[in-house]
Amino acid sequence: MKTPPQNLLKRNHMILIFLIVLLLSTCSTDHPLAKPTIFPRSSSSSNIQLSLKPLILNGNLSFEDIHEAAKDFGNMYHFLPSAILYPETVSDISTIIKNINEMGTTSGLTVAARGNGHSVQGQAQANQGIVIDMKSLRGPEMQFYTGELPYVDVSGGELWVNILNESLKHGLSPKSWTDFLHLTVGGTLSNAGVSGQAFRHGPQINNVYQLEVVTGKGELVTCSEKQNTDLFYGVLGGLGQFGIITRARISLQAAPIMVKWIRVLYSDFSLFTKDQEHLISSQNAFDYIEGFVIINRTGLVNSWRSTFNPKDPVQASQFISDGKTLFCLEMAKYFNPQEIDFMNQKVDSLLSELSYIESTLFLSEATYVEFLDRVHVSMLKLQEKGLWDLPHPWLNLIIPRSRIHEFAQEVFGNILTDTSNGPILIYPFNKSKWNNRTSMITPEEDVLYLVAFLSSAMPGSTGTDGLEYIFSQNKRILDFCKSANLGMKQYLPHYLTQEEWKIHFGTKWEVFLRRKFTNDPLAILAPGHRIFQKGKVSQ
């Protein structure tokens, strides 16, 4: 007998726990669509072809087979472009943008840079515009500097997993990651790039020395902390509004070989957050710290046995998770094989300071690559079962530490009580590790919590696993944050009006607006965010 899709989804919740592509996207619950919708081309597409076909390019400008550029991981918005540019060189990108600038506002053409298609709300789409496939960009090979402050120069269309594999050949590795490595450099740096290392190293945008950017005017600009500084910090976390990242210089550090990977459970939210905050304040604690919420998950501990070993098998077998809201703390300690004894002593010492449920201590060891690329393995399993291409109405929030208990009491006590449609992540990071000069917006507190509701919806369902139900649930969460005045900010925000964007940026809106006017005055770039309309940027 075939297993119904709904049951398949539930059976794979533990796999979905790993799908934490945070740097990618968020969900606005004012979403107007209940199912994936295709927005067709306009009749003016033939005129666009006539104006763009004569351009001399090293790559290829395709007016056919454009449907792929109208898809993303969210599987909710599908805006058809007029063409896809497959650039071979940076000059291809510059030429297209300069040409569109010369057309002025009458063409209505916009440009979106698309990496690996993991946005959720159509942010990398350009309705009747030009989508640039950044993975086609062929720049110089990765160039490594292995001196005192090591770094690597990479193309903006390069995948982080490739950077990991190449840097390890030099005994090096980037410092900060997203949980899914099959994302492009330009994509994550245009947002923030957050994972369990952010408490120590900050997001990925804090670990960049230099950028090469094609602005909304088509100008190729090299920028850094000391050169074209305003553009440098504007582009980092700038949602693609000021320029397209074509090359980046990424900070590196010595890479470990192995990882001790640990999970423990809590039934008390206060103890859970207290221990998390204790760990991120320690100078020599774990190298990775994340947490997630588990709502009414049957047989939770048993489902970990294929990957993790219980510290005490007898006690673990007696633990029952049914019908409870539990909180999982996930930690990792990096080490080299010759350091294993010292590492185990250190881990035991750190764990002795925590207040988790003792019978739920589960441990595992993995290579550094296996640990960092763990989500890709889960993705392949989901693809086999047809569960990867579902709609993903995700909601990602940053909550101030002073309000996290109030948030949890309402959301996990009243709004989400029976079950969840995907992983719920919750973990703290230190605001001091974030650079306030970037375009990324966070609340103003020393410790902040990332809370991510990574839901998957079953197409056609009208139940609790349906798109409309999840939208309404997300809206309840957002409405509570607003009514309680929590000071929350959406991570990788999505809004439908410029007024909402102004509220999001707050006192930094004028800076954001000035940067837009300076670098993309016709509002050609990144139309999928719906911040500006073409030709309507003014100071």
Residue with tokens 């409870």: 324
Active site residue 529: no
The active-site residue out of 133, 179, 212, 373 is 179
| Alpha-helical regions (H) of 4-159 | 5-11, 13-16, 45-52, 90-103
> What residue type is assigned to position 120 of the chain?
V
The active-site residue out of 92, 290, 330, 520 is 290
- Cβ atoms 538, 257 nearer than 8 A: no
* SS3 annotation, 347-416: HHHHHHCCCCCHHHCEEEEEEHHHHHCHHHHHHHHHHHCCCCCCCCCCEEEEEEHHHHHHHHHHHHHHHC
The active-site residue out of 13, 31, 78, 118 is 118
- Cβ atoms 281, 358 nearer than 8 A: no
- Compute the distance between CA of residue 363 and CA of residue 352 in angstroms, rounded to an integer: 15
Residues in Cβ contact with 9 at an 8 Å cutoff, skipping those fewer than 6 apart: 387, 390, 421, 456, 458, 465
Q: Give the H or E element holding residue 426.
A: strand 424-430
Distances (CA, A) of 236 to 174, 185, 232, 449, 502: 17, 11, 7, 21, 19
Active site residue 504: no
> What is the distance in angstroms between the CA of the first residue and the CA of the last residue of the chain?
63
Residues in Cβ contact with 471 at an 8 Å cutoff, skipping those fewer than 6 apart: 27, 29, 31, 34, 393
Active site residue 520: no
Catalytic residue ranges:
118, 179, 290
